[in-house]
Amino acid sequence: MEWNCTLTFEEDVFESGFSSPGNLFFFPCIKATKDLENYDKERHDEFKRYEMMKEHDRREHLKTLDDDERKREEEHYEEMRKKHADHPKVNHPVCLI
């Protein structure tokens, strides 16, 4: 990821309508924020595609099995989903509650 901000203190900010140097302290780097938002969206989309492909592969694998094996695989899958969903709560490192 590239972290270059197109705004400079002396030229771009004053030309864009900021009249005093005091406003520069509160002026965020908009490009960096947009880059981070795009990166988060890309990661989310990539994870979504990964989960969809994983489910597709699982279903394709089930199609190749006979009825008894398919039933065992489905039971194992549901058991693992429940186990994953019911894990104990992880405490925050600072909070002991």
List, in order, residues 6 or more apart from 6 with CB less than 8 Å away. 12, 31
Q: pLDDT truncated to tens, each residue of the chain (97 aa)? A: 455 555 555 555 545 555 555 544 445 567 777 888 888 889 999 999 999 999 999 999 999 999 999 999 999 999 999 998 888 887 777 755 5
Looking up tokens 């989903």, which residue turns up?
A: 81
**Structural domain contains residue 46:** yes
Phi first, then psi: give them for residue 4, nearest 5 degrees: -105, 130
Q: Is 87 left (phi over 0), alpha (psi -120 to 50) or beta?
A: beta
Tally of structural domains, the chain: 1
**Structural domain contains residue 10:** no
**Structural domain contains residue 39:** yes
- Look up the domain containing 67 and give its range: 28-81
Report d(CA 76, CA 58) in Å as an integer.
Answer: 12
Q: Tell me, what's the pLDDT at 90? A: 78
**Structural domain contains residue 70:** yes
**Structural domain contains residue 75:** yes
**Structural domain contains residue 51:** yes
**Structural domain contains residue 48:** yes
**Structural domain contains residue 22:** no
Q: Tell me, what's the pLDDT at 33? A: 79
Report d(CA 53, CA 38) in Å as an integer.
Answer: 22
pTM, two decimal places: 0.53
Q: Tell me, what's the pLDDT at 26? A: 46
